[in-house]
Structure 1
């Protein structure tokens, strides 16, 4: 063991430019669970290969377990079996790595970081040809990787005892008691910070106007506000660089220096983890006292500008008072030189190794503009006028609109409101048509559908009842206007999400459609007797997939979104995916999270299958699709308040080319030019504000200009041309809209 370690030190293990460090070419890959109701041990790959390699981030390493095929086996597997041929694990102490020897075979075991259950573990069982020297080499590679990730420095020269002491801590060392202690300590740390509620233009252009009532003044002596130096040191400091601190003032539309900051501050990133992953804070200190500490979350929408050497982030505000802007705060660090900027950026990104392409590419991030740049936008066009008399629609019933679907074969839109569905004509104007009331089961029990889908040339609508996840209901949209069929999916399988058989299947008489449970995909055929799930087309996954949305292409290829990676494998993207849409040709996908849209190109870029789509061939392990991350600028968010996107949609139609992406947040409809997005112009969005919350919006079918908008209590249709480049005036002044009541 020592001989192996000395050899590794001499070749410069930590500095080697070779990405692959260690490999076991033959073995089996399992997921083990203590909960025997789910199966004590499930084989994921019957033939597998384990590789330890570097990531693109310094001092970050990963375990990759890849499925190994026998000759010609890959060519005869079904597409569904080919979609997930490797699994990646960021090497960290929290994996609780272990090595066992049973029946003359070595088993390498680590925790399933996707679950809170400490007894859920992955196991790679090497074949009988692996010897002790190879085992020792792999072990040393793993524990050195753990050391480098934790301390962000080379492990060269560190004793074997120190490495093992770090890697093989007992469960008590990282158990629940530490989490409780951490919560108490962190609460105490943060409580000491002198932060008030959170705070477009360049941070370098400082307004002469001083900030009022935003930061509690630091007093002298024992009453000094903010934690003392030792408080910051209670965490692990990843970086500290001199910088100027700026805060966006919504009253002047510019960045200013906070009144109680006297000069240069220290911009830091501090890990308060204590065994809990991803507990990192942006910290600013001056003269040893903390000025602010903001937990790093996806909602911050952090943006980097290499032109001004600035980092901006958004911090939500919980406090509303006459002296404090009720929305949110935008802060910025401005660095004096490129080295400071790059070092801080590297530290901020080091724990987000799997999303560096979407998060770290600061040379592609939105360029910050001065307030004057934003003032030149066109004024809003005339607001939407009434299309019917005020008494044309149904009266207020205490409910609110909750869902919207746009028709395919007829100019119709359907809006769910409690246990009613309003029908609207969507010709040149929007016009209320009728309301289908009293949605109820065959037993007379009323329910409010949570998901709906048009079916069979828009003559029917499929409804999901949140109180009965094993059944869907067919509503006749013709003369009857009521539920006429109840389809039991399966006694043991719920249907949590559904999608048409193909993107344009609702324009035909196709009867089947696609469904998903939390960990299974299946086809539903209403023509079957008994359960409607097609057994031969049911794919259930051993891992905790937690499917959250699905969509289909024109050819019926399925895109499915998973929640299981949101909190751990993709900390930078953080929020779970709440919606997904795909272009008709299957080349592009847009996934919606709470604070960002993720746009993926599914074309394999190079290699043997270059030009083919990810539906047809698995992406190479090192060529996974990279997301273009669409967010709103922190300056705009300062006026708009906390962002919570609704599921984004492409414009679509059999003869349509996708040109736009539309979504909403709060009272704002937001649209991106898709052609510009594909070119990397991620800040080219337009906005229109309404006087009520936008529940859902979507393009009229076969049209890329008219957008149907469902507000909480109204329904309207807006021409995309009425969306404008956001300005301070358009974002901060509620728009006066008139529309028909749904």
Structure 2
């Protein structure tokens, strides 16, 4: 739709602009004895029609659909109310309703209680006082198209009032028309609201759009207290603009030019985010599940809002960076207290600084085409074009490389199967191992044609007593010839399997230590004959050596237990054998060797550490949390230990570990949450890995989405709107994914029933086409 063309064109075409689908309703005042809302046309179009020089009208056309054909009694009831609803003109032609566009109609935009855009104006032909009509726009019409329609109406209103072409109108002229129409309706709504006790703040009902003539002055004002919010102490009270993400056009659209924003302490370490404009009320708990994201380069705070299984993305845009940082400080404190159930003021100053510093690292440090780090701009552009042209071929090739696990394991699919549960990548050869129930599938990659082939299946995995076990947490061991397993039940028992024989050949116990996680003593030990491994229990870290006589294989002098329950949850090692341990609380300890105190203790960001991966040289640590990844730079930058790493020396008091919080942006996670109906839950994240190979790419997954990050994309910032991650959607949930050893170009993906080999270049910039099937966009609106 081109508004300029329509107003410069003097042709005879009567319709200037049209909204192709919606529902047309009558709205009566609360004093009316009749129903407050009555449907006039269940399916209709709304147009602006030219009827003369500087004269226009709104025209609603009825579109008959199956639900309206042959309505019987409903049609009779409709005819009884024709005079009040449609006036005399519509008795003659009930397929159309029209009204002259003028200042009298008070045309404006609002939102109905289902979250759909509604265009409302005065019913000048009605019999009752204060009647209005509304056109509820169907969700498949984009917000930008609706905004263009609204601006067209205001231009028509300007021409009708001033009898001159709207091309001469200034932006302030059009804003004045919009402001006047909206203000009068808001006053009416406020009067109704004072008599209503059913309007619930957190339902986010009756959202509407309002622009005011001098937004900056209003943003500078000290806001008055918000209405209808939970009782409690205001931790902050500020002004901002409110935007909502349009999933059709994939852009943020202004919802409220000026809104009050408050964070309220409701007691018991719980806090409430409240947002209130003239017609907009939103409320949500301060919690990580709303995917809070600060974009300091634009002075903005983004978050998700879920209502009736529909997730929207909102953005608060503050007047300047100082206001944004002020809000961020309060948000971070309240979120930390919510997650830890402790008082912020009791936290050591160094830990406070670390938490605030981590939250202030810009999360969107993007640049163009992040996955092709060494290419020239021309090469990148050419390859992107080539990828786009061959996308269908790539998809077809990947389908041919995908192997259905149950068929590869030589058994028909069974409804009782739990599906694939883990993926383990070999370092010495091109093998991969996928666990499924009590079986292990062996696959190999073929570098010549980039295919994945099934090799063999190890069936009926059992312990030394012959009892069947389902293998858990497999780890390759001793030159990739063995696997270390657990059975998922005995917390202090490990099994050693000979892969060639396909049998468990040893069982080890760890005494009174329950094994939470374990890994190689050094990062590349699986390529060597090294027999020791390291592990963590909930309150300690230990080394296991199977050569120790007796069933308990713990190396006592290289183990350490802590007083109390630390809830250790994860462990990772470097090429030199430095060790990092994460906890459910979210803190991380760094050791140069076991059996001694940690060299560095990294405070918690209030996110449980599920997994840890470390770069070979120990400079980078990658922690997997539930809905985010933490990328930590462990190199000391200042003081006498500058150039060393946190495994060997402690960070000085003046320096914190630089931590980058990686997460899916709220506007993208809104697609994911609406499509999957599940929260984001990352699988273990990995760096690309190889001997003497630099780590430069990260891969993880959530639900059916495989996601890759570029380290260079994270570390560099150019202010662009590209994203440092790319995504690929699969047809089922992903169990695990990891790079082929020695490469950052290919990723092996284990789904519940499939195993796939995919090229990283097949991952795409996040968009609605990537994140949601086209057919599912309607589901976005419920």
Whether the TM-score (by the shorter chain) exceeds 0.5 is: yes
The residue aligned with 1:54 is none
Establish whether residue 437 from structure 1 lines up as the match of residue 459 from structure 2.
Answer: yes
* Residue pair 2:364, 2:724 contacting (<8 A) in 1 also: no
CA offset at residue 409 of structure 1?
A: 1.2
Q: Deviations over 1:624-657 (max 9, x none)?
A: 3121111121111121223211111011111311
Sort the Cα spacing of 1:305 and 1:210 in 2 relative to 1 into closer, same or farther, 3 A: farther
* Residue pair 1:462, 1:473 contacting (<8 A) in 2 also: yes
The residue aligned with 1:105 is none
The residue aligned with 1:686 is 726
Distance 1:589 1:576 in 2: 15
Sort the Cα spacing of 1:405 and 1:318 in 2 relative to 1 into closer, same or farther, 3 A: farther
CA offset at residue 392 of structure 1?
A: 4.7
CA offset at residue 703 of structure 1?
A: 1.5
Structure 2 gaps, min length 5: 1-111, 118-142, 151-188, 202-224, 337-351, 369-383, 589-600, 674-678, 777-782
Distance 1:527 1:318 in 2: 58
* Residue number among 671, 683, 700 corresponding to 1:639 in the alignment: 671
* Residue pair 2:585, 2:609 contacting (<8 A) in 1 also: no
Sort the Cα spacing of 1:366 and 1:557 in 2 relative to 1 into closer, same or farther, 3 A: closer
Q: TM-score, normalised by structure 2?
A: 0.60
Sort the Cα spacing of 1:565 and 1:599 in 2 relative to 1 into closer, same or farther, 3 A: closer
* Residue number among 271, 274, 277 corresponding to 1:283 in the alignment: 274
CA offset at residue 230 of structure 1?
A: 6.6
Q: In the TM superposition, what are the counterparts of 1:572-591 in structure 2 within 5 Å?
A: 573-591=605-623
Sort the Cα spacing of 1:360 and 1:633 in 2 relative to 1 into closer, same or farther, 3 A: same
The residue aligned with 1:620 is 652
Q: In the TM superposition, what are the counterparts of 1:323-362 in structure 2 within 5 Å?
A: 325=310, 328-337=311-320, 340-351=323-334, 353=352, 354-361=354-361
Distance 1:466 1:209 in 2: 59
Q: Deviations over 1:707-730 (max 9, x none)?
A: 110011100111111112222211
* Residue pair 1:597, 1:629 contacting (<8 A) in 2 also: yes
Q: In the TM superposition, what are the counterparts of 1:221-370 in structure 2 within 5 Å?
A: 221-227=195-201, 231-232=228-229, 234-256=231-253, 264-272=258-266, 274=267, 276-277=268-269, 279-286=270-277, 291-306=281-296, 308-315=298-305, 317=306, 319-320=308-309, 325=310, 328-337=311-320, 340-351=323-334, 353=352, 354-361=354-361, 365=364
Sort the Cα spacing of 1:305 and 1:389 in 2 relative to 1 into closer, same or farther, 3 A: closer
* Residue number among 385, 392, 402 corresponding to 2:399 in the alignment: 385
Distance 1:617 1:463 in 2: 34
Distance 1:311 1:439 in 2: 51
Distance 1:586 1:229 in 2: 50
CA offset at residue 264 of structure 1?
A: 3.2
Distance 1:418 1:361 in 2: 42
* Residue pair 2:260, 2:277 contacting (<8 A) in 1 also: yes
The residue aligned with 2:593 is none
The residue aligned with 1:208 is 147
CA offset at residue 340 of structure 1?
A: 4.2
Establish whether residue 527 from structure 1 lines up as the match of residue 547 from structure 2.
Answer: yes
Distance 2:403 2:537 in 1: 44
* Residue pair 2:704, 2:729 contacting (<8 A) in 1 also: yes
The residue aligned with 2:431 is 412
* Residue pair 1:270, 1:282 contacting (<8 A) in 2 also: yes
Q: In the TM superposition, what are the counterparts of 1:140-179 in structure 2 within 5 Å?
A: none
**Structure 1, 296-305 or 583-592: larger mean CA deviation:** 296-305
Distance 1:222 1:447 in 2: 62
Distance 1:735 1:420 in 2: 37
The residue aligned with 1:489 is 510
Distance 1:307 1:460 in 2: 50
The residue aligned with 1:30 is none
Q: In the TM superposition, what are the counterparts of 1:471-486 in structure 2 within 5 Å?
A: 471-478=493-500, 480-486=501-507
Distance 1:468 1:656 in 2: 38
* Secondary structure class of the residue paired with 1:349: helix
* Residue pair 2:367, 2:717 contacting (<8 A) in 1 also: no
* Residue pair 1:688, 1:722 contacting (<8 A) in 2 also: yes
The residue aligned with 1:396 is 413
* Residue pair 1:464, 1:473 contacting (<8 A) in 2 also: yes
CA offset at residue 466 of structure 1?
A: 2.1
Distance 2:432 2:524 in 1: 16
Q: In the TM superposition, what are the counterparts of 1:542-691 in structure 2 within 5 Å?
A: 542-565=563-586, 573-641=605-673, 642-679=679-716, 683-691=723-731
* Secondary structure class of the residue paired with 1:355: helix
Sort the Cα spacing of 1:600 and 1:538 in 2 relative to 1 into closer, same or farther, 3 A: same
Distance 1:198 1:570 in 2: 46
Structure showing greater Rg: 2
Q: Deviations over 1:142-180 (max 9, x none)?
A: xxxxxxxxxxxxxxxxxxxxxxxxxxxxxxxxxxxxxxx
RMSD of aligned residue pairs (Cα, Å): 3.5
Q: In the TM superposition, what are the counterparts of 1:692-711 in structure 2 within 5 Å?
A: 692-711=732-751
Distance 1:706 1:519 in 2: 38
CA offset at residue 475 of structure 1?
A: 1.1
CA offset at residue 292 of structure 1?
A: 1.6
Distance 1:196 1:554 in 2: 56
Distance 1:442 1:198 in 2: 63
Q: TM-score, normalised by structure 1?
A: 0.63
Establish whether residue 424 from structure 1 lines up as the match of residue 438 from structure 2.
Answer: no
* Residue pair 1:550, 1:558 contacting (<8 A) in 2 also: yes
* Residue pair 2:358, 2:661 contacting (<8 A) in 1 also: yes
* Residue pair 1:460, 1:475 contacting (<8 A) in 2 also: yes
Distance 2:261 2:604 in 1: 20
CA offset at residue 342 of structure 1?
A: 4.3
Distance 1:223 1:301 in 2: 31
